[in-house]
A and B are shown apart, each in its own frame.
Chain A
Amino acid sequence: NAGVTQTPKFRVLKTGQSMTLLCAQDMNHEYMYWYRQDPGMGLRLIHYSVGEGTTAKGEVPDGYNVSRLKKQNFLLGLESAAPSQTSVYFCASRPPGQLYNEQFFGPGTRLTVL
């Protein structure tokens, strides 16, 4: 199993450009999450999904959109990138059921917006 994969690993954008980050998991997990990680801020939840076709806002959703058309994929979109969105983005997935089930994280996407 590949676990959780993220594409691309690195990206540089100019202000105003758009892009989509792809997260894929092969563990048949129901729950998927997008986080951003900034120095001193820990992990902040952007959006999450509790199943195919469903999404919800997290702590810092502004400027991002998501889609979960297939169970195994969770896409994060930036419609008009801003320098404040320079960050490392992590995707995670989690099996349903018990609250003590841990999350499985991807390797991250490092995004720079100039």
Chain B
Amino acid sequence: AQSVTQPDIHITVSEGASLELRCNYSYGATPYLFWYVQSPGQGLQLLLKYFSGDTLVQGIKGFEAEFKRSQSSFNLRKPSVHWSDAAEYFCAVGAEGGSYIPTFGRGTSLIVHP
């Protein structure tokens, strides 16, 4: 069965610092991987996704993620964090077979200090 692990429950960074949020997955075949962001009081919004091709994926708001098959990872990065990036971040892996039910990680809460 597929699974997603986000090892960090909370991450605190200073504004302007770089950011890396970790995501590890377990999946039987070629994974389809997603990062979503949830701003306070809002629903989830897609940041980026990987399904084939270049393993470095660019997303919205200056985020990128790198798919590393050998490490079963899909870490999210941003070179310089802004205060508005404070949010909850969810990694998800696409469904196996035809169930169309993705599996979500438990989320990482990003706190940004001025």
Contact = CB atoms under 8 A, between A and B. Distances in A.
The answer to whether A binds B is yes
Interface of A: 4, 31, 33, 40-43, 45, 48, 50, 58, 90, 92, 94, 96, 98-100, 102-103, 105-108
A94 B95 CA distance: 12
Contacts of A94: 100
Contact of A107 (B36, B43, B51, B102): B43
A42 B106 contact: yes
A46 to B, nearest CB: 12
Nearest to B100: A31
27 contacts: A4-B43, A31-B100, A33-B101, A40-B9, A40-B106, A42-B104, A42-B105, A42-B107, A48-B101, A50-B100, A58-B101, A90-B44, A94-B100, A99-B32, A99-B94, A99-B95, A99-B100, A100-B32, A100-B51, A100-B94, A102-B46, A102-B49, A103-B46, A105-B44, A106-B43, A107-B41, A108-B43
Nearest to A48: B101
Interface of B is mostly: loop
Contacts of A4: 43
Contacts of B45: 105
Interface string B101-113: 1101111000000
B74 interface: no
Contacts of B71: none
A85 B45 CA distance: 24
Contacts, number: 50
A100 B50 CA distance: 8
A99 B29 CA distance: 12
Interface string B70-114: 000000000000000000001000110000111011110000000
A107 B49 CA distance: 21
B67 interface: no
A105 B49 contact: no
A99 B102 CA distance: 9
